[in-house]
Amino acid sequence: MDIYQLLRSYLGSTLRQRALRSPWTYRLLKQAVAAQKRHYPWQAAHRLLLNTIDQAAAAFLQKGPVIWHNVFFPTEVLYGLGTVPFAPEAAAVVATGLGIAERALQRAEGDWVSSEACSFHRLAHGCDREGYFPPPGAVVCSSHLCDTAPQSLAATAAYHGVPFYLLDVPHQQDDTALEYVARQLKSITFSLVETLNLAWDEDRFQAALVNSNAARERLLAINRLRQQRPACIRGEEAHSFIYLMLAGFGAATSVEVYGELLTELAQRYRDQRRAVPEEKARLVWLHLRPYYPNAIFQILEQEAGAVVVCEEMNYVYWEPLDPERPFYSLAHKVLSHHGLGPITRRIEAILAMVDAYQAGGVIHFAHWGCRQSTAGLRMLQDALRERGIPFLNLEGDCVDQSKYAPGAVRTRLEGFLEMLL
Amino acid sequence: MSLTAGVDIGSLTTKAVVVRDGRLVGAAVLKSGVDSAEIARKALQEALEQAGFKEDSLDGIVATGYGRIRVPFAQRRVTEITCHARGIYHLWPDIRTVIDIGGQDSKVILLDDGGKVRDFVMNEKCAAGTGRFLEVMASALEVPVKDMGTLSQQASQGASISSMCTVFAESEVVSLVAEGRPVAEIIKGLHNAIAQRVVAMAQRAGWEEPVAMTGGVAKNPGVVKSLEEYLGTSIRIPPDPQIIGALGAALLASG
């Protein structure tokens, strides 16, 4: 039984509202996934999927106050409050995998959502209005990097008639900016407590930061392993864990998943169990990837032996948090993102990745409507060219399959590989 | 003796070239069809006939172009990016930028001094500014595509074409004809529109002189002139720009 086909047929029908709000859906799903445990090449990925099902169940069954957030808002706050975080952008990825994206995108178009906007947000809008998402009790959003998120999520909060909290993040990283962001984080936290009638538990809040630090340590260790040659995990596989970076920091379950991944990966390095039979090139991958069926990683990694050894989205850009000073350290984390501020910060970070991972090439996936990632590409290209590092800007869309042209993508990838190899 | 062949299966035409000891000895250009493998074989046979050889004399065949994966008799498949670079490098090793405008795509390819591809930029999901664009406009203007180049040179200025979408540009062209704008000026305007688009691609790539142009559209002197004006440099055109990809493929087949 293909559980994804079963889900698609379930969700595509008028029963979807009932299906998503039935505990049986999640019980059956977990059982089906659990039964396939031995088919997963990475047990950490299996655990991640089970945890994600639990999180989805908590959100759809309203096991706690559901708070929508964009992927750059520090989720330590939400886990620390004991709420159920829900990331519509990440859920859009799941919608793509479940084959309901086309209908949801049509709904967004019908609602006058600009087709030039980021497809993650267009899709999230459509999924929400089609009844695929759990209603929020509140919406939180940070202003940095993604310029579509504040508009999109503010509109969603208004649609649902719930409070919207914006974390206004400046471009500077000085003490004034730190103070400003920290004050807002504290204000948002206690506003949520009051508005949603939450029980403030300082221990639980600090525990979220402790969890975040533990997850960070494990991810750093994973990334250090991946700097070795040859690679023992393909980029396509490592990409699955980006979800934790975007929606999982602060949760104890994220620590478990990273811990399991670290154990498995370390063993593979000890056993020298290569990711591909012959590693011909090592690549850094910038931004995200298409989440519908596509041949990109097959062409790169399996056909050509060009392994993605580092994903920008898995890069640890912040210092450990201080549970005694949660808002300041979280503000520091937010302001530390290399994508914030002058493009030189991002360029320096990417060059450091190239050096640390001994990469011979860089691929940027230019997701449709993502201005924060694509705007500075000329300067990035020039910086990489100065270092003699081949660079490919691959235009496409992470969730809208109508924008995927298999032949054109293959030509660009193979042309790049011919430059590289 | 080394005898190799290159087959370039494009969206509008399929080209084959036979090379003996690095010298072009046979070439053919056919209209592409539904059965890429059959057309590729026919083109190869024609080129071999011209060269005076049979297929079993070949030491290697490389396929290129979008249809390259559908050529079962090729030993290797190489992208048209690399093949166009190799083909031009064979003719002019000093060229640093190749502009290739084909039936449905356009590309700017940068070469290093060894003829290796340094970088490339391609048009994204839109055939505006390609051979197909010109075909649609030629039909709207009721002039043969092959005459567009000479006709445009009769105009001292080009009409402004604001739309880059082929469909909307066609609509604009029809309006300009209805207004009584001379056909030569409309065509020059279309050539300018293509040139602006391609020059933007060239700037993204970081183009350098000297520049050469390949692909069927390079046979249009009007487009070449517009490109030269917008780039501010002269552009070299090979004797048969349409077969450069196949030539590069044949050269790559010899190692």
Where are the domains positioned within chain A? 3-198
Cα–Cα distance measured from residue B105 to residue B131, given in angstroms and rounded to the nearest whole number: 8
Q: Is A382 in contact with B206 (Cβ distance < 8 A)?
A: yes
Residue B166, domain member (yes or no): no
pLDDT, tens digit, 9 for 90 and up, residues A393-412:
999 999 999 889 999 999 99
> Which pLDDT value is given to residue A7?
66
Q: Calculate how close chain A gets to B81, using CA atoms only, in Å.
A: 6
Cα–Cα distance measured from residue A193 to residue A85, given in angstroms and rounded to the nearest whole number: 14
Neighboring chain A residues of B126 at a CB cutoff of 8 Å: none
Choosing among A412, A413, A417, which should be mutated to test the B contact, i.e. which has the most B CBs within 10 A? A412
Which of A408, A410, A418 faces B117 most closely, judged by CB atoms? A418
Choosing among A385, A411, A413, which should be mutated to test the B contact, i.e. which has the most B CBs within 10 A? A411
Cα–Cα distance measured from residue A200 to residue B162, given in angstroms and rounded to the nearest whole number: 60
> Which pLDDT value is given to residue B111?
98
B62 against B1, higher pLDDT: B62
Neighboring chain A residues of B116 at a CB cutoff of 8 Å: 419
Residue B143, domain member (yes or no): no
Neighboring chain A residues of B112 at a CB cutoff of 8 Å: none
Starting at the earlier edge strand, list the strands of the sheet with A306-311. A306-311, A281-286, A361-367, A391-396
Cα distances (Å, whole numbers) of residue B245 to A151, A258, A331, B81, B96: 48, 49, 55, 8, 16
Cα–Cα distance measured from residue B65 to residue B69, given in angstroms and rounded to the nearest whole number: 9
Contact status of B125 with chain A (Cβ, < 8 Å):
yes
> Which pLDDT value is given to residue B247?
98
Task: Name the residue range of residue B91's domain.
Answer: 3-125+197-253
The verdict on domain A3-198 having CATH code 3.40.50.11890 is yes
Mean pLDDT of B60-85: 95
Neighboring chain A residues of B79 at a CB cutoff of 8 Å: 411, 414-415, 418
Residue B131, domain member (yes or no): no
Neighboring chain B residues of A381 at a CB cutoff of 8 Å: 119, 206
Which of A395, A408, A419 faces B117 most closely, judged by CB atoms? A419
Residue B154, domain member (yes or no): no
- Which ipTM did the prediction report? 0.89
* A224 contacts A316 by C-beta, under 8 angstroms: no
Q: Is A407 in contact with B66 (Cβ distance < 8 A)?
A: yes
Q: Is B81 in contact with A411 (Cβ distance < 8 A)?
A: yes
DSSP B76-96: EE--HHHHHHHHHHHH-TT--
Residue B137, domain member (yes or no): no
A–B CB contacts, 8 A cutoff, strictly below: 40
Which of B69, B118, B125 faces A405 most closely, judged by CB atoms? B125
Chain B residue with CA closest to A377: the answer is B204
Chain A residue with CA closest to B84: the answer is A415
pLDDT class of B168 with cuts at 50, 70, 90: confident
* B170 contacts B144 by C-beta, under 8 angstroms: no
SS3 assignment, position B148: helix
> Which pLDDT value is given to residue B129?
76
Task: List per-block mean pLDDT (blocks of 10 residues) for chain A, which spans 421 residues.
Answer: 64 72 92 94 97 96 96 98 97 88 92 91 94 95 94 96 98 96 98 97 98 98 98 97 97 98 98 97 97 96 98 98 98 97 95 98 93 86 96 94 91 96 90
Contact status of B249 with chain A (Cβ, < 8 Å):
no
Q: Which residues pair with A69 in a beta bridge?
A: A140
Neighboring chain B residues of A385 at a CB cutoff of 8 Å: 119, 206
Residue B95, domain member (yes or no): yes
Q: What is the CA radius of gyration of chain A?
A: 21
- Per-residue H/E/C for chain A: CCHHHHHHHHHHCCCHHHHHCCHHHHHHHHHHHHHCHHHCCCHHHHHHHHHHHHHHHHHHCCCCCEEEECCCCCCHHHHHCCCEEECHHHHHHHHHHCCCHHHHHHHHHHCCCCCCCCHHHHHHHHHHHCCCCCCCCEEEEECCCCCHHHHHHHHHHHHHCCCEEEECCCCCCCHHHHHHHHHHHHHHHHHHHHHCCCCCCHHHHHHHHHHHHHHHHHHHHHHHHHCCCCCCCCHHHHHCCHHHHHHCCCCHHHHHHHHHHHHHHHHHHHHCCCCCCCCCEEEEEECCCCCCCCCHHHHHHHHCCEEEEEEHHHCCCCCCCCCCCHHHHHHHHHHCCCCCCCHHHHHHHHHHHHHHCCCCEEEEEEECCCHHHHCCHHHHHHHHHHCCCCEEEEEECCCCHHHCCHHHHHHHHHHHHHHHC
Cα–Cα distance measured from residue A209 to residue A206, given in angstroms and rounded to the nearest whole number: 5
pLDDT, tens digit, 9 for 90 and up, residues B212-235:
999 999 999 999 999 999 999 999
Which of A378, A412, A415 faces B82 most closely, judged by CB atoms? A415
A98-102, A147-151, B136-140, B150-154: the lowest-pLDDT one: A98-102
> Which pLDDT value is given to residue A16?
73
Q: Is A408 in contact with B204 (Cβ distance < 8 A)?
A: no
Chain centroid to CA B2: 27
A283-297, A378-392, B43-57, B163-177: the lowest-pLDDT one: B163-177
Q: Which residues contact A304 (CB under 8 A, 6 or more apart)?
A: A280, A281, A414, A417, A421
Neighboring chain B residues of A410 at a CB cutoff of 8 Å: 69
Chain centroid to CA A256: 18
Domain count for chain B: 1
Cα–Cα distance measured from residue A60 to residue A17, given in angstroms and rounded to the nearest whole number: 10
Q: Is A411 in contact with B118 (Cβ distance < 8 A)?
A: no
Chain B residue with CA closest to A403: the answer is B125
Task: Assign residue B212 the CATH number of its domain.
Answer: 3.30.420.40
- Structure tokens, B86: 């190799």
Cα–Cα distance measured from residue A133 to residue A205, given in angstroms and rounded to the nearest whole number: 27
